[in-house]
A and B are shown apart, each in its own frame.
Chain A
């Protein structure tokens, strides 16, 4: 397991594997869950993850994140005081900061479409469900630290669904559509492949897989208002 993480760190960051460190803040309103995550990934010597703060609600989260300036925030979607979206909104300056950027990874028990899309559009760099294993979570945290996007299979399914049912889009929105390659990558994520396996399957590098996923995230977040609106309306989310 350790080896796996280290190799991931080496591949993605190009750094000297073992010494890689990431500072993380846990935001979740269930103390039990925070304790569990801490136990699973917080063993710094083994995983390289250092939990520097915890928060149980929106106000607390903003305070802790501002004070500790972690690299990655593991953010629950449902929180007292407005939810993860509110935290993202109030931390927007920290996400935009040129120096020492704070990145968010949504970690939720909910895989309802509205929750997922909400936090992604709010600026989270990824979304994983709480069924994720400790190893995968550590892996995801490092990916997010590198600025890459992390999608759970389920989220990939949502995105495919959102972009799939389009018939004859206007020409000027061509830019917003997923490329064939991006669709392939997402489809493999939805089928439960890890990034490394996808790379092997498509004969591309892991780096390329990550850039495809990041491109999807960008499209999902910033553009394609037309399709997303239609999608959301069809599901009565707005």
Chain B
């Protein structure tokens, strides 16, 4: 298989060069094409020489009883025209080194293809004449209609290509009009001949046939435009969605990030405030970036699962006290009354940790849901304190943390060592789910 030596089309080339292109899509080739660019596009897609594909199509045209034509037409309709051109626009003229212009020499492949086409056409026509008279009468109008349709469809492609090149001047427009008109005329003539050769129009059946023929003709003429239009529309929609997404990102960055940066510049003297602002912004941005699609980019008002509640609480405390709080949550479960109390207790612990232990580094919060048990630990690396030495009138730890947990059927443990930091462990059984 001489595939390696094959001159690859620009399309195949470019997709082979790029490292991570999306899966190759089949396009019709916009340049160097003879009719619809189907053969060239296919060749590029399959990595075969164009000539082979063309010959194959020609073979099916001649011997496949119209199968090839059907196939070609189907490709033409459904495969979008692609930009294949690394070489740019090809004109019939080429500019020489001395500045003069001369007719471009057609390349060998094209000549071969043309010759093949002529031979094919010759065989086709000779076959027609060998056939009986009755069939003959239908074939000529059919050919006329076919030629008209081909003209109009190519026209649709040209209009599409004009989007990219935007080189179609006034002259081009006139030419386009003329071509479209010619196509319509051809189809009209073909249909008329159809009716005429059928004989007298008096018969009802004939009239019906004629109507049908006209309708089919109109569908054939309008078809390519409609298809192209829907293709273009979906492309445009995609672009619009992208633009919207970009705008949203830009708006978000503008609203929050730039705002925060300004605040930071203004508060450059106040280290604590700067840190608080930066932390809050980092958290918000991270939340916004990594939040799964569809959950809504905005902050939910009231969290309804444990993980969210713990994170939100930590964020609040962090914002209030300017001490970074690192949160690790393992597992998750819906928030019930008892767990809400636990989160409240954890909040108190976090506030304490931020107030008294914030100097030793970030406060670490760990929450885990394991089976029916929910465990939360809040840990700081501050100086620590002696729980028994706390006077009786200070209710923070005793009431807000230990008392609250016990009232709700949980337990709280405090561990504190001078220089070892403080750790508060909260454990709570989840309420039995009413099922």
> What residues make up the interface of A, taking CB atoms closer than 8 Å to B?
112, 131, 133, 153-154, 156-157, 160-161, 164-165, 187, 190-192, 236
Contact = CB atoms under 8 A, between A and B. Distances in A.
Given A131-B326, A191-B377, A191-B379, A153 B366 contact: yes
**Chain B contact residues, majority secondary structure:** strand
Nearest to B370: A164
A191 B379 CA distance: 7
Nearest to A190: B328
Nearest to B425: A191
B109 interface: no
Interface in B322-340: 324, 326, 328-331
B373 to A, nearest CB: 12
A236 B292 contact: yes
Q: Which of B326, B329, B330, B368 has the most CB of A within 10 A?
A: B330
B142 interface: no
A160 B326 contact: no
B15 to A, nearest CB: 19
Given A157-B328, A187-B366, A191-B379, 12 more contacts: A131-B326, A153-B326, A153-B364, A156-B328, A157-B366, A160-B368, A187-B368, A191-B328, A191-B423, A192-B326, A192-B366, A192-B379
Given A131-B326, A191-B377, A192-B366, A164 B331 contact: yes
21 contacts: A112-B290, A131-B324, A131-B326, A131-B362, A153-B326, A153-B364, A154-B326, A156-B328, A157-B329, A157-B366, A160-B330, A161-B330, A164-B330, A164-B331, A164-B368, A165-B331, A190-B330, A190-B366, A191-B366, A192-B379, A236-B292
B361 A154 contact: no
Interface of B: 290, 292, 324, 326, 328-331, 361-362, 364, 366, 368, 370, 377, 379, 423
**Chain A contact residues, majority secondary structure:** helix
A153 to B, nearest CB: 5
Contacts of B362: 131
A133 B361 contact: yes
B56 to A, nearest CB: 40
Contacts of A131: 324, 326, 362
A157 to B, nearest CB: 4
B245 to A, nearest CB: 18
Contacts of B361: 133
Nearest to A188: B366
Nearest to A197: B420
Contacts of B329: 157
B322 to A, nearest CB: 15
Closest 8 CB pairs of A and B: A192-B364, A157-B328, A191-B366, A160-B330, A190-B328, A161-B330, A191-B377, A112-B290
Contacts of B379: 191-192
Contacts of A190: 328, 330, 366, 368
